[in-house]
Structure 1
Amino acid sequence: MTEQPKPHKVRHLDARTLRGLAHPLRMRLLSSLGLDGPATASQLAARLGESSGATSYHLRQLAEYGFVEDDPDRGKGRERWWRPAQQGIRTNADLMRDQSPEVRGALSTVLHEYATQRAQEVSTWIATRNEWSADWAEASSVSDFTLDLTPAQTFELSRKVHELIESYRALAPEGNTPDAAKVRIHSHFFPTRPAGDSDSDSDSDSD
């Protein structure tokens, strides 16, 4: 009997939990736990170049808001290991439209930190690509596209891309497959204006 993949738990942010996440170090801690695996506050401090006091404090804050939890399979005595409480985070439409200055500020912090982390990941790949096999070099992609779309078409495209990516979770290789690795996939869908154009209703020719 084929073992079913574990469900991919996704956390939907609200105004309260957004404020609990909106701190660059907390987001870096959560990202490190997700990508590099469970760790103690001291191990995370070494990974991120921070003090263990700072990582310990912000881990407790993340736990209070439900983003991280104890790892019951690790730790000895007073040693406390942490792991993510979910595998993904999403913002809903209501949160994106919230006009509260506090919410908008927190959301900007979160989005800017995500953008910074993703840029760093791409830079790391470019700097270390020669350490990977030729197959990985050929399989990787750093691409961008420009399309003329309506908001509804953009939403549909985003949904279809996400559905395609999610369909590959069930295809994850089992056990210690030699050529398998964690693959990071970034997606950004956003409108742009021609340089110098501040009129949102202006028409332009696409390349």
Structure 2
Amino acid sequence: MTEPEDPQVRNLDARSLRGLAHPLRMQLLDALRFGGPATASQLAERLGESSGATSYHLRQLAAHGFVVDAPERGKGRERWWQAAHQGLRFDDSLLTHTDPVVRGAADMYLHEVATAQIRNLSTWLGSRAEWPEEWNRAWDMSSATLRLTPELTEELIAKLHAVVDTYRELAVEDDSAAHVRIHTHLFPIETD
């Protein structure tokens, strides 16, 4: 399926994937994408890491173009970082790349994405009592099992993405709004 080009979405290739495929780097990038600009020390505290480790991995992310300086935030020696893009696009061909290092990085990347999505959901479940009642009525954790061909599955994926895209245009900036995470997973399963 060919996705339209979006300057806010970074297409992962073999080189950039090798620069990103590390659990802490992926967490740092997500923290900057969803939490906004921050220093290595702030990110270290948020993620329970040392500032030395976060500094090193931020520099690696910068070398691969995933993060950039946020100079309007920095004062003196304090270095602020921000995400260079708001999204990432994974090319399935990376899973069958001729280089086994790239295949391993692709597999690790996908497993880290799945882990992060589970962590997002677990965080919501653990903190939902702290949210207003209207948010406790406006969430979903559902599943469905359908019998589809690969072609129908691709069609369903495209339609789900199209629906989400229509809501991007409806984003609101009032006090009742919050960032809402949407995870979709479509994959075949074995049944008895």
Alignment TM-score, normalising by the size of structure 1: 0.86
Which range moves more in the overlay, 159-168 or 61-70? Answer: 159-168
Counterpart of 1:111 in structure 2 is: 110
Give the equivalent residue in structure 2 for 1:204: none
Deviation string, structure 1 residues 110-155 (Cα, Å, up to 9, x no partner): 1111111111111111111111122111110011111111111111
8 Å contact from structure 1 (residues 13, 90) kept in 2 = yes
Runs of 4+ in 1 over 3 A off after TM superposition: none
Residue 55 (structure 1) shift:
0.2
Identity across aligned pairs (percent)? 57
Aligned residues: 187
Give the residue type in structure 1 aligned to 2:176: D
Give, in whole Å, the separation in 1 of the partners of 2:44 and 2:18.
23
1:8 Cα deviation after fit: 6.2
> Unpaired segments of 5 or more residues in structure 2?
1-5
Q: How does 1:29-44 map to 2 (within 5 A)?
A: 29-44=28-43
Partner of 1:142, secondary structure, is: coil
Cα deviation for residue 93 of structure 1 reads: 3.5
Q: CA deviation at 1:9?
A: 0.6
Q: Tell me the residue number matched to 2:3.
A: none
Larger Rg: 1
Q: Matches of 2:120 and 2:172 in 1, distance apart?
A: 23
Tell me, in whole angstroms, the C-alpha distance in 1 between the residues paired with 2:102 and 2:25: 17
Q: Where does structure 1 lack aligned partners over 5 or more consecutive residues? A: 1-6, 196-207
Matched, 1:62 2:61: yes
The partner residue of 1:182 within 170, 174, 179 is 179
- The more displaced of 78-87 and 127-136 is 127-136
Q: In the TM superposition, what are the counterparts of 1:1-207 in structure 2 within 5 Å?
A: 9-174=8-173, 177-194=174-191
Separation in structure 2 between the aligned mates of residue 62 and residue 189 of structure 1, nearest angstrom: 29
> 1:90 offset after TM fit, Å?
0.8
Whole-Å Cα distance in 1 between the matches of residues 34 and 8 of structure 2? Answer: 15
Answer whether contact 1:68 1:84 (CA < 8 A) is retained. yes
Tell me the equivalent position of 1:3: none
Whether the 8 Å CA contact 2:67–2:81 is kept in 1: the answer is yes
Structure 1: distance between partners of 2:49 and 2:113: 19
